[in-house]
Amino acid sequence: MQVPFVDLKAQHRSIMDEITAKITRVLERADFILGEDVERLEEEFAIFCNVEHAVGVDNGLSALTLLLKAYDIGPGDEVIVPANSFIATAAAVTFCGAKPVLVDVDPITYNMDPLQLENAINWHTKAVIPVHLYGAPADMNPILKIADKYDLVVIEDAAQAHGAWYKDKRTGSLGDAAGFSLYPGKNLGASGDAGILVTNNAETARRVRAMRNCGQVAKYIHEFAPHNHRLDTMQAAIVRVKLQYIDAWNALRQQHARLYNELLADSGVITPAVSQDAQSVWHLYVIRVSNRDDLKQYLTEQGIATGIHYPIPIHLQPFYKDLGYKRGAFPITELYADQCLSLPMFPELTVEQIEYVVDAIKTFMVNTDSEPLLAPYNPVETAAD
Ligand SMILES: *Cc1c(COP(=O)(O)O)cnc(C)c1O
């Protein structure tokens, strides 16, 4: 049996006719730049997140960068981001001219640790970017409380968490604003690069709307730096089709995560934990094991594709050597970079495929002397419920 890591072809097969019809309509209208589908997607995505404004942009990194700029964050400012994330979270801070300050993550949820956040705040700190990593919302209430106390802007990096819930709120509606990626492999993805940002703040929306389009507040009146970060109309049309299915697709991911959790319970690997207040949309299903590289190799031999998110933490990347962090700066992030393994996860995954993956993991675990990892302390509710 072959189990891919994600299967975009399967997703497209199910909606091919709808997508083709949408693309044809864009070609007929020829409104390629900021056309009707961009506007409609913005309305629909704002409703989906339960916020006032959505603005389509060219990718997720731009969404975060433009938001920071819209809040006048720049040179001399510091923005706190989790060490355990995709590099784009920190890159957005760098590209607005400010300095990313990293903090280690909570050992159970792998998301930003509020205590470490508060310890990293100083007079230069202007904002914080919690990441809803792997689709699981960060622990937002303590983060929002700290942000309120120190008057920080909160920008959610929701690139992996379209449609997730924290208590009774959708991701994207929790902070001052949020950036989403619509990269093809994300839970909600375009057929190319795309992104969208959301906010309840009308002035923030006005600014980013201008900033994405040559800084124009009206035709040929350029109030902001004339960069081009527009969302392509064709991509918006495709994403509108997929937005109709995202909740159903996320529900399937949740079902798969529950089954993985159940079947892996006594296997000796650490399964992912989600805080009680959060409902993950399982962008990734990430386990931990001491001899990760051997397990990855074994699964590859069995026809099972896996991923590592992320093998080299942000602070140890060559690009960020000037930030001055040494190995050992963020022990949890560094340890998990060596232990984490992302299993196949996508809506169309079958029960048979999941059972096959789990059987292979169990065979590997009983036949090797994998050093057992300590289960997380203070266990929170595992599973997708
Ligand atoms: C994918 C991703 C981004 C960036 O999105 P792009 O659309 O690729 O620019 C930012 N943050 C996180 C956590 C991501 O996973």
Tell me if 160 CB under 6 Å of ligand 1: yes
Residue 20 Cα to ligand 1 midpoint, Å, equals 26
Question: What confidence tens digit (pLDDT) does each residue in 172-202 have?
Answer: 999 999 999 999 999 999 999 999 999 999 9
Per-residue pLDDT of the chain (385 residues; tens, 9 = 90+): 999 999 999 999 989 999 999 999 999 999 999 999 999 999 999 999 999 999 999 999 999 999 999 999 999 999 999 999 999 999 999 999 999 999 999 999 999 999 999 999 999 999 999 999 999 999 999 999 999 999 999 999 999 999 999 999 999 999 999 999 999 999 999 999 999 999 999 999 999 999 999 999 999 999 999 999 999 999 999 999 999 999 999 999 999 999 999 999 989 999 999 989 999 999 999 999 999 999 999 999 999 999 999 999 999 999 999 999 999 999 999 999 999 999 999 999 999 999 999 999 999 999 887 676 765 544 444 444 3
Question: 346-361: b or e for each residue (b if 16 or more CB lie within 10 Å)?
Answer: bbbbeeebbebbbebb
Q: How many residues does the chain have?
A: 385
Cβ 131 under 6 angstroms from ligand 1? yes
Instruction: Give rounded-to-5 percent helix, strand, coil for the chain.
Output: 40, 15, 40
Out of 57, 157, 191, 314, give the residue to mutate to test ligand 1, the one with the largest number of ligand atoms within 8 Å of its CB.
157
Å from CA of 83 to ligand 1 middle: 15
Among 133, 160, 235, 309, say which to mutate for ligand 1: greatest number of ligand atoms within 8 Å of CB.
Answer: 160
Smallest CA separation from ligand 1 atom 10, residue: 88
pLDDT in tens, 109-130: 999 999 999 999 999 999 999 9
Residue 158 CA to ligand 1 centre (angstroms):
8
Q: 182 C-alpha to center of ligand 1: Å?
A: 8
324 φ/ψ sector (left φ>0, alpha ψ -120 to 50, else beta): left
**How many alpha carbons fall within 13 Å on the CB side of residue 105?**
26
The finding on whether 204 has its CB within 6 A of some atom of ligand 1 is no
Position in ligand 1 atom list of the atom nearest CA 92 = 10
Please report the domains of the chain, with CATH numbers, ordered by start residue: 8-101+109-243 (3.40.640.10), 246-370 (3.90.1150.10)
**CA nearest ligand 1 atom 14, residue:** 159
Please name the residue that has the structure tokens 């001899």: 291
90 lines ligand 1 (CB under 6 A): no
Q: Are 349 and 256 in contact (CB under 8 A)?
A: yes
| Pocket flag, ligand 1, residue 60 (CB < 6 Å) | yes
